[in-house]
Chain A
Amino acid sequence: MEATIPVLILAMPLLMFLFLGLFGKFLSPRVSGIIGTAGMGVVLLMCYYTAYVYFFSGSPEFINAEGNRLQAIICNVDWLQFTDNLIIRLGFLLDPISAMMLVVISTISFMVHLYSNGYMRDHHGVYERGFQRFYAFLALFSFSMLGLVVATNIFQMYIFWELVGASSYLLIGFYFTKPSAVAASKKAFIVTRFADLGFLIGILVLSYYTGTFNFTDMTSVPVAGMNDVYAVSAETATGVFNIFQSKAAAGFMGCSVMTWALVLIFMGGMGKSAMMPLHIWLPDAMEGPTPVSALIHAATMVVAGVYLVARLFPLFLVNAEFGGYALDVVTWVGAITAAYAAMVACTQLDIKRVLAFSTISQIAFMMVSLGVSREEFHNLGYMASMFHLFTHAMFKALLFLGAGALIHAVGSNDYTDMHGLRKHMPITHITFLIGCLSIAGIIPFSGFFSKDEILSSCFGNSIFAYVWMSAVAALTAFYMFRLYFLIFWWKEHKVHEGHHAPKDQPWTMTLPLIILAVVATLCGLIPFGNYVTWDGHPYDFMAHFNWTIAGISLAVAVIAILVAARMYKTENPLPAKMRQAMPRLWDWCRNRFYFDELYMFITHKIIFDKICRPIAWFDRHIIDGTMDGLATITNKASYAIRGLQSGNTQNYVWVYLIGALALGGVTVAVIFLFC
C-alpha cells in the first residue's frame, strides 16, 4: 500500500490543530466548526479506505496464502538514532487491531466533531467562548490517538500515549474558569502520568532485554501450538522467545524480570484505562464537555490500555507459558474493577458519572477477556475483547452523546432534574434506549454478541470467572436501566416557571445519535472473528457459539432489567427502602468506596507532611541559607576593600610596588622554604 494516505491520516488532524490553534482567532466559530468537521470527515474517509484495503483487498502484503492476516509496516522513518541499535522510529503499522481502531477512532471522532457544532452553543445559538480552541484540541487528540494505534514501536506508542494524555488534559480543563474542571484536569494528568512512569520503566526493562522497540520483532514470538504468522524472521522470533525462556527464573521480588516488565507496562495501561486503583481520575474527568467524554473518556483514549495489552498479547502469552503472572494480574485487576465500578454505578446521581463508572466496568470486561485468553481460548478471548472494544465504543459514545443532549436540554447533570423526559425528547429517548439495551446485552443489539463471547471465554477459563462476570453483567443491565427509567420515566417532567420545556436538539446533535444508534444495533452482526484475531488466523465464532451461555446471560439481563423496571418505572418508595436495608453498602458505593479520601490521606498526610515538608525545610534553610551567607560575605568583603581604590595616585603606585615585590618575593620565599 502506498504511504500517502496513511501519512495523510496523521498529517491532516495535526495540520488542522495547527491551523485552528494558530489562526482560529481570526475565524468565526461557525467557520472553524465547519472546517474542523469537514477535515475530520476527510480523515474518516481515508481511515475507512485504509481499513477497507487492509481487510478486503486481499493484497499479499496484508494476507498470506493460508488466509492469515499479516502485520504490515506501511512506512517507518528513523527519527532519533542514538546508537546502531537504539533507534527510535516513527511509522505506520497496519494489522487487524490497528485497522479496526482506525475505524473506531475516526467514526467516533467525526460524530463528536459534528455533534459539537450543536452542543457547544447555548439555546440561543451563541457559540461558547473558545469554540475554535475546542476544535483545535479535538484535532490534536484525533492526531495523537491515531498515531498511538498505528505505532510501529513501543516508543512511538509512548510518545503518542503522552500526547493523548496531554490533549485529554487540555479538553477536560476546557472550561478553565471553573475550578472543578481545572482540578479534574490536573488530577487526570497527574494520575495517568504516575501510571506512565511504570509504563516507561516497563518499556526500558523490556527493551533492554529484548533489544528492540519494534512491535513486529517483539510480538513475533512463537507460542506453543500457534502459527507464528507475524514473524518477520525466524531468528528474531526465536530470539525473543529464548530471552523470555532464559529470564523466566525469578529475578526480583519473586517474579522474573519479564513479568515485571509486562506488569509495569500494564500499569501504564491501568492508568489510561482507569483500572482500580488508578481509576480515580475518570469520574472527575466528566467535568469536560460531554462530547469530549464521549470521544476520549468512553470510546477511544480509555481503551488504550486494552489496546496496549492486546498489542503485546503474544508477550503476555509467552510470559504465562513460562509461569509468569502478568496475564493473571490483568485478569484480577479487570475482574475486581468490573465489579467495583458496577456497584458504584448503581448509586450515582450524576448521569455522566454513572456512564463513567459504567465505562470503567466495561473496559474491565475487555481486560478480563484478554486475561482469560489461555490455551484453546486464545482466539476467543482476544477476539471477544477487541469486539467488545468496538461495540462498546459505538454504544457508549451513543449513550454519552445522548446524555449530552439531555444535559444540554435540561441544563443539569442530575437525573433528579430530568425524570419523565420520554415525551419531550423522543429521538433522544429511543436512541438512549437502544444504547441501554445494547450495553445490557439484549439480542440482537451489538453488546449481546460481544459480551456473550467474553462470558464464553470466561467460562472456558474457570467457572468462577464466569459466575463473577455474569453477576457484573447483571449489575450492568440493572444500573443502566435504573438510569434509563429515572431519566425518562419515574414521574412526569416538571417544567419550571419561565423555562421552556426540554426538547430534542438540533440536527447536528440528533444525526450522530441516530447514526450511532443504527451502528450500535447492527454492528454485532459483523463476523468479527474473520477480521480480528490475535494471530491473524480467521476464527469462526458462530461455529463455537454456546447457546446455553447465551441463553443464561440473556435471561440474567432480562431479569435485571425487569427488577430495574419494577423499582424505577414509576415513583415508588422501593428504592428508598432498599437503601435503608443496606445503609453501609449504599454509603460505600455512593462515596466510591472512599478511594478519593484514601488518596488524599496518602498524598497530603503522608507524602506532603512527612516527606515533602522536611525537604522543603532543608531547602529553605540549609541550601538557601548557604547561598544567602555567600552573598552576605561577598557584600561585606566588597565593602571592606573599598578603601583600596582611594583615587590617590601615590597609593596606587605603592600598592603596585608592593604587589610587584610580593609577586617575586613570596615565590622566592616559597621556593626557598619548600624546595
Chain B
Amino acid sequence: MDYSQFLAMKQEIGLLVVFLVVFLYDVFMPRKGVAADGRAYVKGTSLVAVISFAIFTAACFLCPCIYEPASAFGDMYVTTAVAATIKNILNVGVLIVLIQAMRWADSDIQVVRRGEFYQLLLITLFGMYLMMSGRHFLLFIIGLESASLPLAAMVALDKHRHESTEAAIKYILTACFSSAIFMMGLSFVYGLTGSLYFVDIASALSTQASTGLLTIAIGFVMAGIGFKLSLVPFHLWTGDVYQGAPTSVTSYLSVISKGATAFAFVVVMVQVFGQFYTAAWEWMLYALIILTITVGNLFAIRQRNMKRFLAFSSVSQAGYIMLGVIGVNEMALAALIFYVLVYIFSNLAAFGVIQAIENKTGLVDMDSYRGLCRTNPRLSFCMMLAMFSLAGIPPFAGFFSKFFIFTGALNQGSVAMYVLVLIALINTIISLYYYLLVVKAMYISPDECKVPAFKSATSERIGLVITVAGVIFLGLVSCIYDSILALCGVA
C-alpha cells in the first residue's frame, strides 16, 4: 500500500494532530489541579485544545495547498476546493464553540472530564470530514457513525442531570435506528448496482430504468441523512436532545453537525442520484422542505425553554438550508455554503448568550429573560442581533443568506420552485414572530428580571464578539459571498 496517499488528506491529518496533542496532553501531563470533589485533573487542557485548534484553523485557511483537489485510496476519498472551504468554515464554527464552551468545561463539575469533551468533539469533526469527502459509501458510513456515536457520549456529559442522560439514550436509540434504515437503503442500492462507489453507482443507474425499489432506497438514504439534519419527520429527537444536552454540545450539534451533514447530503444526492433521478429525489426533498420549515416553525412558536426553542428553530432553518440542495446549480450551492456560514455565526451568537446566562444563573427559560435589557444590556443586544439575523432582518447577515438561498432556488425558474419559495417566505414571517418573542421578552416586558447584572467570562465575551461581528459584517462585506460564488463556479 502506498502510504503517501494519506498526504492527500491534509485537513484530516491536521485534525488528527490536534486530537493527539489534546489527548496526549490530557493523559500524560501531571494532574496538578484539584477539583471541588477532591479529584485531580490536568490544568490547562482547555487552553491547549483551543490554541492548538486555532492554529490548525488558521493554518488551513492560509495554506494554499489545502485547496488543491486530491484523492486517495482508489478515489474513496476526494477533496476539492469547495470541500476544503466548507471544512474551513466548519473549523471556524468549531473554534467559536470551543471558546464558548471553555467556561462550562472549566466548571467544577466538568473539569475532571473536560478532556473527554474535547477529544470526542474532535473525533466527531473528523467523522464529518470523512462524510464530506467520502466518495464510497463505506467511508461515508464510517464518517457518519463516527460523527454520531461520540455525540451521544457528549450529550451525556452532564452526568449530574438526568435530562442529559435521557437525551443521550434517546439520541443513541434513534440514531441507531436511523443508521439501520440508512444502511438498508444502501444495501438496496448495492443490490441494484453492485457497487458502493458513488461514481460506479451513478454510471450503473444511468443505464437502467427507475424501479420502485430504487425509489424506496433513495427514500431510506434521505431519511438516514435527514435524521442528522433533523428534517421533519425524522426530527423528533431534536427537541429532547437539544434541551437535555449540555448547552455547549447543543450549539455544536445545531450548527457544526448540521452544516457538515448538509454538505454531505448535497454530495450524495448530486453525485449519486443527481443526474438521472432528479425528479424523484427532488420531489421527495420538496415535500420534506415544506414539512420541515412549517412543522419546525409551528413547534418553535410554543417553546418556553430557550434551548428547546432554538432546537425547533434549527429544524426550520435546516429546511431553508435544503433549499440550496434542491436548486442544483452553482449559485444554489454557493447560497447553501453562505447560509451555513451565516447560520453558524447567528446561532452561535444566540447560544453564546444562553450559555453565559446559564453558566451564571442556571436559567434557560424564556420567562427569565424578561427585562434582561435592564440588567444585562449588552447580552440582550447580542441576543437581539442574533434573533434578527436568524429571522432574516436586514442589514444583518441572515437577511442576505436567506436572500441568496431564495434567489438560488428561484434560478431554476419552475412554477413549483416559486411555490416553494413562497411557502418559505410565509414561514419566514411566522418565524419572525417567535424570534421577536425573545426580543420582546428582553426589551419590552416590564417585569423585574430574574437574571441579575453580571460580568461574563472573558472566553464568553470573545465568543460573542466574534459571532456578533460575523452577524453584522458577513452580509455587508460582499466579497465573502462573491468569493464563495467564484469557488463554486470553478468547482
Contact check, B174 vs A664: say whether CB atoms are below 8 A apart.
no
Contact check, B295 vs A664: say whether CB atoms are below 8 A apart.
no
Q: A663 within 8 Å of B by Cβ?
A: yes
Q: A647 within 8 Å of B by Cβ?
A: yes
Query: B183: which A residues are within 8 A, CB to CB?
Result: none
Q: Which of A453-497 contact B (CB under 8 A)?
A: none
Query: A637: which B residues are within 8 A, CB to CB?
Result: 298
Q: Which of B170, B178, B280, B299 contacts A671 (CB 8 A)?
A: B280
Q: B73 within 8 Å of A by Cβ?
A: no
CA distance A665 to B433 in the complex (A): 35
Query: B239: which A residues are within 8 A, CB to CB?
Result: 645
Determine the residue in chain B with the shortest Cβ distance to A657: B181
Q: A649 within 8 Å of B by Cβ?
A: yes
Q: Which of A631, A656, A664, A666 contacts B218 (CB 8 A)?
A: A664
Contact check, A656 vs B217: say whether CB atoms are below 8 A apart.
no
Q: How distant is A366 from chain B, measured CB to nearest CB, in Å? A: 49
Q: Which of B441-475 contact A (CB under 8 A)?
A: none
Contact check, B216 vs A665: say whether CB atoms are below 8 A apart.
yes
Contact check, A651 vs B236: say whether CB atoms are below 8 A apart.
yes
Query: A23: which B residues are within 8 A, CB to CB?
Result: none
Q: Which of B233, B298, B433 contacts A656 (CB 8 A)?
A: B233
CA distance A667 to B222 in the complex (A): 13
Q: Which of A638, A652, A666 contacts B174 (CB 8 A)?
A: A652
Q: Which of A641-657 contact B (CB under 8 A)?
A: 641-642, 644-645, 647, 649, 651-653, 655-657
CA distance A394 to B228 in the complex (A): 82
Q: Which of A641, A662, A671 contacts B210 (CB 8 A)?
A: A671
Query: A661: which B residues are within 8 A, CB to CB?
Result: 216, 219
Contact check, A656 vs B234: say whether CB atoms are below 8 A apart.
yes
Contact check, B236 vs A667: say whether CB atoms are below 8 A apart.
no
Q: A635 within 8 Å of B by Cβ?
A: yes
Q: A59 within 8 Å of B by Cβ?
A: no
Q: B177 within 8 Å of A by Cβ?
A: yes
Contact check, A634 vs B227: say whether CB atoms are below 8 A apart.
no
Given A652-B174, A655-B233, A638:B301 Cβ within 8 A: yes
Query: B302: which A residues are within 8 A, CB to CB?
Result: 638-639, 642
Determine the residue in chain A with the shortest Cβ distance to B184: A660
Please, what's the 1-or-0 string for A83-122, where 1 marks a CB less than 8 Å from any CB in chain B?
Answer: 0000000000000000000000000000000000000000
Q: B405 within 8 Å of A by Cβ?
A: no
CA distance A52 to B287 in the complex (A): 79
Q: B283 within 8 Å of A by Cβ?
A: yes
Contact check, A656 vs B236: say whether CB atoms are below 8 A apart.
yes
Given A660-B181, A663-B222, A667-B215, A652:B170 Cβ within 8 A: yes
Contact check, A645 vs B298: say whether CB atoms are below 8 A apart.
no
CA distance A672 to B430 in the complex (A): 36
Q: How distant is B487 from chain A, measured CB to nearest CB, in Å? A: 32
Q: A658 within 8 Å of B by Cβ?
A: yes
Given A664-B215, A664-B216, A665-B216, A655:B298 Cβ within 8 A: no
Please, what's the 1-or-0 string for B205-231, where 1 marks a CB less than 8 Å from any CB in chain A?
Answer: 000001010011111101100010000
Q: A659 within 8 Å of B by Cβ?
A: yes
Q: How distant is B277 from chain A, measured CB to nearest CB, in Å? A: 10
Please, what's the 1-or-0 string for B156-183, where 1 marks a CB less than 8 Å from any CB in chain A?
Answer: 0000000000000110011001100100
Contact check, A660 vs B223: say whether CB atoms are below 8 A apart.
yes
Contact check, A652 vs B212: say whether CB atoms are below 8 A apart.
no
CA distance A642 to B301 in the complex (A): 11
Contact check, A663 vs B299: say whether CB atoms are below 8 A apart.
no
* Interface band, chain B: 35 or more
Q: B288 within 8 Å of A by Cβ?
A: yes
Q: A576 within 8 Å of B by Cβ?
A: no
Determine the residue in chain B with the shortest Cβ distance to A659: B233
Q: Which of B297-316 contact A (CB under 8 A)?
A: 297-299, 301-302
Contact check, A656 vs B219: say whether CB atoms are below 8 A apart.
no
Q: How distant is B215 from chain A, measured CB to nearest CB, in Å? A: 5
Q: How distant is B300 from chain A, measured CB to nearest CB, in Å? A: 9
Q: B117 within 8 Å of A by Cβ?
A: no
Q: B240 within 8 Å of A by Cβ?
A: yes
Chain A contact residues, majority secondary structure: helix
Contact check, B236 vs A663: say whether CB atoms are below 8 A apart.
no
Query: A649: which B residues are within 8 A, CB to CB?
Result: 169-170, 173-174
Contact check, B288 vs A634: say whether CB atoms are below 8 A apart.
no
Query: B227: which A residues are within 8 A, CB to CB?
Result: 656
Given A655-B236, A664-B219, A634:B284 Cβ within 8 A: no
Please, what's the 1-or-0 string for A66-78, where 1 marks a CB less than 8 Å from any CB in chain B?
Answer: 0000000000000
CA distance A635 to B280 in the complex (A): 33
Q: How distant is A674 from chain B, measured CB to nearest CB, in Å? A: 11
CA distance A661 to B237 in the complex (A): 18
Query: A639: which B residues are within 8 A, CB to CB?
Result: 302
CA distance A655 to B235 in the complex (A): 10
Q: A542 within 8 Å of B by Cβ?
A: no
Q: How distant is B227 from chain A, measured CB to nearest CB, in Å? A: 7
Determine the residue in chain A with the shortest Cβ distance to B210: A671
Contact check, B233 vs A658: say whether CB atoms are below 8 A apart.
yes
Query: A543: which B residues are within 8 A, CB to CB?
Result: none
Determine the residue in chain B with the shortest Cβ distance to A644: B236
Q: A582 within 8 Å of B by Cβ?
A: no
Q: Which of A642, A652, A663, A671 contacts B219 (CB 8 A)?
A: A663
CA distance A639 to B299 in the complex (A): 8
Q: Which of B400-424 contact A (CB under 8 A)?
A: none
Contact check, B173 vs A653: say whether CB atoms are below 8 A apart.
yes
Query: B220: which A residues are within 8 A, CB to CB?
Result: 660, 664
Q: A668 within 8 Å of B by Cβ?
A: yes
Contact check, B236 vs A645: say whether CB atoms are below 8 A apart.
yes
Q: Which of A631, A645, A651, A663 contacts B284 (CB 8 A)?
A: A663
Contact check, A634 vs B240: say whether CB atoms are below 8 A apart.
no
CA distance A652 to B230 in the complex (A): 12
Query: A665: which B residues are within 8 A, CB to CB?
Result: 216, 219
Query: B280: which A residues are within 8 A, CB to CB?
Result: 667, 671
CA distance A670 to B174 in the complex (A): 29
Contact check, A652 vs B237: say whether CB atoms are below 8 A apart.
yes
Query: B232: which A residues are within 8 A, CB to CB?
Result: 659
CA distance A666 to B233 in the complex (A): 15
Q: How distant is B211 from chain A, measured CB to nearest CB, in Å? A: 9
Contact check, B218 vs A647: say whether CB atoms are below 8 A apart.
no
Query: A658: which B residues are within 8 A, CB to CB?
Result: 233
Contact check, B174 vs A656: say whether CB atoms are below 8 A apart.
yes
Contact check, A660 vs B219: say whether CB atoms are below 8 A apart.
yes
12 sample A-B contacts, Cβ–Cβ < 8 Å, listed by A number: A634-B297, A638-B302, A642-B302, A651-B236, A652-B237, A656-B223, A660-B219, A663-B288, A664-B217, A664-B284, A668-B215, A668-B216
Chain A interfacial positions (CB closer than 8 Å to B): 631, 634-635, 637-639, 641-642, 644-645, 647, 649, 651-653, 655-668, 670-672
The 8 closest A-B pairs by CB, nearest first: A664-B219, A664-B216, A659-B233, A660-B223, A663-B219, A652-B236, A638-B298, A668-B212
Chain B interfacial positions (CB closer than 8 Å to A): 169-170, 173-174, 177-178, 181, 210, 212, 215-220, 222-223, 227, 232-234, 236-237, 239-240, 280, 283-284, 287-288, 295, 297-299, 301-302, 430, 433
Given A641-B295, A660-B181, 19 more A-B residue pairs with CB atoms under 8 Å apart are A638-B299, A644-B295, A649-B169, A656-B174, A656-B178, A656-B181, A656-B227, A659-B234, A660-B219, A660-B223, A660-B234, A661-B219, A663-B284, A664-B215, A664-B220, A665-B219, A667-B284, A668-B216, A670-B283
